[in-house]
Structure 1
């Protein structure tokens, strides 16, 4: 069964084309069948001529050999000698039977029972003589009781009886002699037939030797004749089939005129497009997640690095970072206070007296973390000193809004006067927070940080302040952080979400431990709390967690107050939705950028 489908904008044209294609297919099949029959007939005719020539040649060879060998074949494919032998055997069997029958008759004659033979009993003449003789003997016996044997009448009867007896015996003798003669003839005939049969058998032996080649030639003739007859039959069949054009296919249902459009089907096409889009989107997301070799959740940090997760710092837009840090009710501020609490319970005696804050790579939030931790510990009444240990790319002075004319590098190189040493330690607008900036950028930061004077400075400052926080450079590619980690009681590693690779973080942690650092834990920064699979577990870090009343105080000049915006744009629900959408898009972009 073949189904023919044709699509066109014109219904009538589509049905006509479908029907014509079916009819053209049938006509083409008929033409192909006729052409095939003609080619087959031509081929068979050529084969017939070849086989006919072979048959004629084989018959001529057979007749020539039979003539030369003197082989005569009867109509039933038997040789004349064979037929004669068969006839002689039949005649010999008959002669033997006749001789046996005649021998039994002669044996009875020899035993004196010739008169009882069937030929004697069946002879009419002898039967009459026997009856007449019996009648005379009966008369003689009757008259013997009256007349004497010498009486002339009795003698006359005796003479008649003797004469009839002689005649009867002569008749029996004649018949027995003929039977003996017949027996002799049967013996002679049997002997002649045996002699002739022996002669024919000798001729048959000679004939069999000649008949071997004759049989081979005759078999070839029979084979050629059979092949010739078969080809003639096929030729006749092909001739008849070529004249009769029989359809090998037929149209079951003609194409009907469509009453409605077949395509396009908008709903189905939209469904297919939507399904393909969703499948493609899911595949892209899966590939991005599969190729993402960064840290995406705190569990990965604990599992891969074996560090305790002391704090999770939510992702905040750069434009809102300053406002979130200044706002004590923001989710970011609450996260830093949670980190401060974890640090207080990180050791047996509470928080370490000196804390080194570092990260694997730049821009992971270590300077911001040092800045915010200093404020939070100072809020508890502790005297806090912040040291900018990054002598290559310092950033702590910018966060406090201070200049960086002199600082740690000047103190290590003795390029500051004694009366100016006290001015290096600068107080800030935050109570109990003192800052030691990095100072002039030196050409050999690693040598200065590894000097005994640096260790002496950290030790002496640890006695003057309750907590010394050192903002160290990144670990990967530099030796500054491992050197400073030996001077601090504890080291906090900041790991950014979807930024630093796991291999880089493992290498950094390995360098710290090789230098003898006491790594007390890690803090995960830039964590997207609105990610669907972690939103529930970390929902306490929502930006609007502390939003009560009409609104939250804003830092002047840093955050847009919403003036001139529509009424719906000023509502908290709308702002919350905008933040979620923006965070989701930024998170996806960050994962795509961090994918290797």
Structure 2
């Protein structure tokens, strides 16, 4: 993940700066706060003329008030009161005056919060509403729909919370804080004051509406009763005149009273007869219900218990005996007798119960008939004595009843008026909102810190994901972990810029980026030291003696194998050894151009014909400047793989081993061609060159497997073109140059490719 550190830093800085700019451009938010007190809407009663107020708490009532404060019905009224539909300060608020630069300075603690100064706030510290608009009708859906967007804006910025006492311990209060946020402090104060004022007035209107409805109902009933009493009195007067009724004698009153009592008794007898008939019909339609009553008796229950006990004993006997066993038969007889007795008891009880119901009905019917006869007889007597007096009495009773009801309604109306006049509003505004001077938001610093945190997390996650997708080998740790091979050297990349030199080197020295003989160009650079370290690793790779023949190959083209082969051979020659470098890459030969030797005769010439040792040595060229011996590839043959894999190649290597201290062979990439694999089985060891940060792990594994399949001895891996500025290379730099001074100079980077 370290190689992606600048990606992480860039993403973090980008999103943090964008978040800071966005937060700085957001307008200041001001919060206005008002406080209301919600007393309990207590039940009221009259005892001895006094109003008794119950103090029972009702959490549901308090929560209901919280919902009313944020409900669309109340907020529609606020929108109409303040005409927020056409208020530009509400719809298109302007910034409080602080610039983006000032907001940025405030985020880093170098500025103070801007104070909002307006003409309104100077002339009117508490922006109150003069009047509250009428509520929207339930049937006015068009108005509700038109005001809905503005109501939504109010709800989004409105915050209603109960106040809790926390000085000693958390306790509930009857106070509610109403807060509203808006970029314009004047608008924020006006809105929150309008909300609490509309809330107080709405509550009073609701209470008055309930009282008015009760008053209207009572007045309507009083008028109806007064009209009815007046009509009944006129009818009574007309009736007494038409029947010439002057007074009622005591005898007549006694007869009427008796008739009234008989009438009451007859009504009661009818009810008794109907109840008896209903009970009889019910049990006739549901005989099982009668059986259930009979079964609930104590005698029946005892029989059932005995029957259950006998059945249990029979079941126990059947476990060991059959139904023919004497004891089982005896119990069966007892069960049969007992079941018969139970049935008879049930039938007998049912018959007795139904008989009692029929008798009760008969008695009730007879009693009713008796009373009816007495009533008819008494009525005939009364009618015969003074039928007019009875009618007069009935009308008079109706008048008295109506007067009593009228007196009750008049008393109730007076009480309702007194309660309506003496009941105060249980909603009180404790504090109106002043115009806020300091903003409460937005929380710019917090937003920027969150943006920094999440962008950092995103950058780290992206770096980890890129590492997961990275299939290349970039360090010695990757070589040892992925290929299980030693990393013999890490060759740094060189460019035409100032270089990191070893002590004694000239800072003015430059390297030719097109030259492959990098070691010969500058023997004191860190690059030269890397090749010398590679030489040491090669010489110590075999026990007993240094390897005679060495194959330098790569997985794919352009990984630097030819440059590595040339500089490895050059480093071996610097020890005084007689070193030959062989260009076995007949498909893309380069050594003849590097060492500037003739390529008309070479390896292909020696392999295509029977060549003696003297003839082989004759076609070998000497590079005077470096002291190396070079065997060029020769003309490109049509069948390079057949020549390389021939016995003639093995014999040729034997001749070269006998005449040179070390033979370094440059072959084609083994993942693309079989030439290198064929040579690998003929030499003492193989150096596998990989391009740092570009060579694929899968291809490198396949190359290793190809070499191991032919029994080649792989000395290790040369990691080529490693950046001096990478964290991974700093490890190699310390490893290779531990004996040198720590002079901090710039490195040079170039891509050296085969």
Q: Does 1:286 align with 2:464?
A: yes
Alignment partner of 2:484 out of 295, 299, 306 = 306
The residue that corresponds to 1:478 in the other structure is 673
Cα distance in 1 between the residues matched to 2:435 and 2:456: 38
Which protein shows a greater Rg?
1
Deviations 1:65-98 (A, max 9, x none): xxxxxx955289656999xxxxxxxxxxxxxxxx
Shift of 1:205: 4.8
Cα distance in 1 between the residues matched to 2:548 and 2:477: 28
The residue that corresponds to 2:13 in the other structure is none
2:561–2:666 CA contact under 8 A, matched in 1: yes
Distance 1:203 1:421, change over 3 A: closer
Alignment partner of 2:362 out of 206, 209, 212 = 206
Shift of 1:385: 0.8
1:313–1:526 CA contact under 8 A, matched in 2: yes
Matched residue count? 377
Q: Does 1:74 align with 2:74?
A: no
Shift of 1:427: 1.1
Alignment partner of 1:13 out of 187, 193, 216 = 187
Shift of 1:402: 4.2
Cα distance in 2 between the residues matched to 1:397 and 1:498: 29
The residue that corresponds to 1:364 in the other structure is 559
Q: Does 1:524 align with 2:699?
A: no
* Secondary structure class of the residue paired with 2:181: coil
Greater mean alpha carbon deviation, residues 261-270 or residues 487-496 = 261-270
Distance 1:252 1:490, change over 3 A: farther
Deviations 1:118-154 (A, max 9, x none): xxxxxxxxxxxxxxxxxxxxxxxxxxxxxxxxxxxxx
Greater mean alpha carbon deviation, residues 25-34 or residues 443-452 = 25-34
* Secondary structure class of the residue paired with 2:558: coil
Cα distance in 1 between the residues matched to 2:661 and 2:622: 15
1:375–1:430 CA contact under 8 A, matched in 2: no
Cα distance in 1 between the residues matched to 2:539 and 2:366: 128
1:330–1:545 CA contact under 8 A, matched in 2: no
2:533–2:736 CA contact under 8 A, matched in 1: no
* Secondary structure class of the residue paired with 1:74: helix
Cα distance in 2 between the residues matched to 1:364 and 1:315: 12
Cα distance in 1 between the residues matched to 2:609 and 2:573: 30
The residue that corresponds to 1:499 in the other structure is 694
Distance 1:5 1:435, change over 3 A: farther
Distance 1:456 1:259, change over 3 A: same
Q: Does 1:384 align with 2:558?
A: no
Alignment partner of 1:440 out of 635, 640, 651 = 635
Cα distance in 2 between the residues matched to 1:251 and 1:317: 80
2:554–2:670 CA contact under 8 A, matched in 1: yes
Alignment partner of 1:337 out of 520, 532, 535 = 532
Cα distance in 2 between the residues matched to 1:411 and 1:359: 25
Distance 1:79 1:7, change over 3 A: same
Cα distance in 2 between the residues matched to 1:546 and 1:318: 23
Unaligned 5+ segments in structure 1 are 37-70, 83-199, 212-235, 549-571, 588-596
- Matches for 1:19-34 after TM superposition, within 5 Å: 19-20=193-194
Distance 1:327 1:299, change over 3 A: same
Cα distance in 2 between the residues matched to 1:210 and 1:404: 148
1:382–1:432 CA contact under 8 A, matched in 2: no
Shift of 1:397: 2.9
Cα distance in 2 between the residues matched to 1:466 and 1:258: 93
Cα distance in 2 between the residues matched to 1:375 and 1:479: 27
Distance 1:268 1:205, change over 3 A: closer
* Secondary structure class of the residue paired with 1:6: strand
Shift of 1:371: 0.8
Shift of 1:452: 2.1
The residue that corresponds to 1:409 in the other structure is 604
Shift of 1:361: 1.9
Shift of 1:269: 5.1
* Secondary structure class of the residue paired with 1:535: helix
Cα distance in 1 between the residues matched to 2:637 and 2:455: 56
Deviations 1:318-361 (A, max 9, x none): 77555953211111111111111111111123321100011122
* Secondary structure class of the residue paired with 2:529: helix
Cα distance in 1 between the residues matched to 2:366 and 2:702: 106
* Secondary structure class of the residue paired with 1:346: coil
* Secondary structure class of the residue paired with 2:730: coil
Shift of 1:393: 1.9
Alignment partner of 2:623 out of 423, 428, 434 = 428
Shift of 1:406: 3.8
